[in-house]
Amino acid sequence: MTQSIVVQVGQCGNQVGCRFWDLVLREHAHVNQMGVYDEALSSFFRNVDQRRGAVSTGGRITALKARAVLVDMEEGVLGEILQGPLRSLFSSTQLISDVSGSGNNWAVGHHTYGLVYREQIVDQVRKAAEHCDCLQCFFLIHSMGGGTGSGLGTFVLKLLEDEFPEVCRIVTSVYPTAEDDVITSPYNSVLAMKELTEHADCVLPVDNQSLVDIVGKIQHMSNTGKLGCAIKKDCTIISGQGGVVKVEKPFDAMNNIVANLLLNITRY
Ligand SMILES: Nc1nc2c(ncn2[C@@H]2O[C@H](COP(=O)(O)OP(=O)(O)OP(=O)(O)O)[C@@H](O)[C@H]2O)c(=O)[nH]1
Ligand SMILES: [Mg+2]
């Protein structure tokens, strides 16, 4: 069985990433009610027993740790993750953050923070890779509009190519809407796109405007009682209902769609 490592960069990358982890756990709990640490679970999680160390597949679930590295140059989102319901999935060393963010500036993320955090990021990715028997894929999640996601995100992509050339790099890139608040987002997107074309094996482009439209349509159908059998009320496509994260945040419904997309392409 192969394993994958998720690298989530910037606010958007981390918020989408958290919806993904929430959804993976819910789906797994649904199909594996005995709480067995099986091969499907091992593709994204390690199972760690405090006394015995890593537990091999076939045993009971003790403490799951996500195969992930979380990077954001602002503390806010990572701080929330460390205090939120998913906190036990990550040890603090898996989280890499600074204080002030990249100020929506691609170059600050790519060049300034890239150079400063290069070693720390490589170290954490290497540690995560050492815990894998057969590392197949990196899943990078980031936004194209923000400075950290686009700048540092694409720096990390190149880093992964340099350090692990044989491991496939699949990137989920969230594109800004035409009315995006971030004035520099078109520039950040173009600069990041060049890096994607050079260093990614596969890009899953996600358009924020389409996400807004889909969420709006589903909510309209729900309000007018027109939800049919295709989409049920509170289904996982847009809703976190039944998940470990109880309070829905502004981007959650949109991020659930992206998390579903990722879950569907990684399902065994
Ligand atoms: N779909 C979605 N888009 C988001 C989310 N958070 C931010 N965005 C979009 O991402 C872009 C801004 O990027 P961010 O990820 O917030 O920025 P960042 O990577 O943290 O970079 P800096 O804040 O500049 O350091 C804008 O286009 C936002 O609309 C999210 O959770 N989901
Ligand atoms: Mg930010």
Question: Could you give all domains of the chain from N- to C-terminal order, each with its CATH number?
Answer: 3-266 (3.40.50.1440)
State in Å: Cα 141 to ligand 2 middle: 14
Q: Point out the ligand nearest to the CA of residue 13.
A: 1
* DSSP 3-state of 57: coil
Q: Point out the ligand nearest to the CA of residue 142.
A: 1
CB neighbour list of residue 4: distance below 8 Å, 6 or more residues apart: 43, 44, 67, 135, 136, 137, 138, 139, 266
* DSSP 3-state of 212: helix
Ligand 1 closest atom vs CA 176: 27
Whether 238 has a pLDDT exceeding 80, the answer reads no
Query: Is 114 touching ligand 1 by the criterion CB < 6 Å?
Result: no
Least confident of 35-44, 47-56, 134-143, 201-210: 47-56
Query: Is 77 touching ligand 1 by the criterion CB < 6 Å?
Result: no
Query: Is 185 touching ligand 1 by the criterion CB < 6 Å?
Result: yes
pLDDT at site 125: 98
Region 228-236: mean pLDDT is 61
pLDDT at site 30: 85
